[in-house]
Amino acid sequence: MSSFILLFGCLGLGLLLQRVKDFPKNTPQVLNQFIIYISLPALALYFIPEVKLDSTVLLPVGLAWICFGAAALFFWGLGKAFGWSRKLVGCLILTGGLGNTSFIGLPVIEALYGADSLETVILIDQPGTFVVLSTVGIALAASFSRGAASIGTIARKIFLFPPFIAFMLALILNLVGFSFSADMKDVFQRLGSTVSPLALVSVGLQLKPEWRSKHWGFLALGLTFQLMLAPLLILGLYFGVLGVRGELLEISVMEAAMAPMITGSIVAASYGLKPRLANMMVGFGIPISFLTLAFWYWILNFVIG
Q: The domain containing residue 129 runs over which residues?
A: 2-7+28-202+213-304
- The answer to the question of residue 20 being in a domain is no
- The answer to the question of residue 18 being in a domain is no
Q: Is the pLDDT at 148 greater than 60, yes or no?
A: no
- The answer to the question of residue 22 being in a domain is no
Highest mean pLDDT among 48-62, 119-133, 218-232 belongs to 218-232
Let me know: does 296 contact 217? Beta carbons within 8 Å.
Answer: no
Q: Is the pLDDT at 21 greater than 90, yes or no?
A: no
Nearest residue to 206 via CA among 3, 4, 17, 7:
17
- Per cent of the chain over pLDDT 70 is 94
Let me know: does 124 contact 63? Beta carbons within 8 Å.
Answer: yes
Per-residue pLDDT at 1: 63
- Over range 223-248, report the average pLDDT: 94
141 burial class (0-12, 13-18, 19+ CB within 10 angstroms)? buried
Let me know: does 259 contact 288? Beta carbons within 8 Å.
Answer: yes
- Over range 196-221, report the average pLDDT: 81
The pLDDT tens digits of the residues spanning 52-64 come to: 776 667 899 899 9
Per-residue pLDDT at 88: 96
Structurally, the chain folds into a number of domains equal to 1
Query: What's the CA dihedral at 285, 288, 291, 295 to 10 degrees?
Result: -50
What whole-number distance in Å separates Cα of residue 129 and Cα of residue 243?
23
The angle subtended at Cα 147 by Cα 86 and Cα 70, nearest 5°, is 45
- The answer to the question of residue 123 being in a domain is yes
Q: Is the pLDDT at 44 greater than 90, yes or no?
A: no
Q: Is the pLDDT at 242 greater than 60, yes or no?
A: yes
- The answer to the question of residue 234 being in a domain is yes
Q: Kindly give, in sequence order, each residue whose CB lies less than 8 Å from that of residue 44, ignoring residues fewer than 6 positions away.
A: 126, 130, 163, 166, 167, 169, 170
Nearest residue to 96 via CA among 274, 248, 242, 297:
274
Instruction: Tell me how long the chain is.
Output: 305
- The answer to the question of residue 23 being in a domain is no
The pLDDT tens digits of the residues spanning 261-289 come to: 988 998 898 889 999 899 889 888 988 99
- The answer to the question of residue 14 being in a domain is no
Nearest residue to 96 via CA among 233, 239, 237:
233
**CATH number for the domain that contains residue 262:** 1.20.1530
Q: Using alpha carbons, list the distances in angstroms from residue 225 to 70, 98, 115, 296.
A: 10, 11, 29, 14
What whole-number distance in Å separates Cα of residue 7 and Cα of residue 20?
21
118 burial class (0-12, 13-18, 19+ CB within 10 angstroms)? middle
The pLDDT tens digits of the residues spanning 22-34 come to: 888 888 888 888 9
The pLDDT tens digits of the residues spanning 77-89 come to: 999 999 999 999 9
Per-residue pLDDT at 64: 94
Q: What is the DSSP letter of 99?
A: B
Range name among 110-119, 133-142, 147-156, 177-186 with the lowest pLDDT average: 147-156
- The answer to the question of residue 125 being in a domain is yes
Per-residue pLDDT at 36: 84
Return left, alpha or beta for 272; rule: phi > 0 is left, psi -120 to 50 is alpha, else beta: left
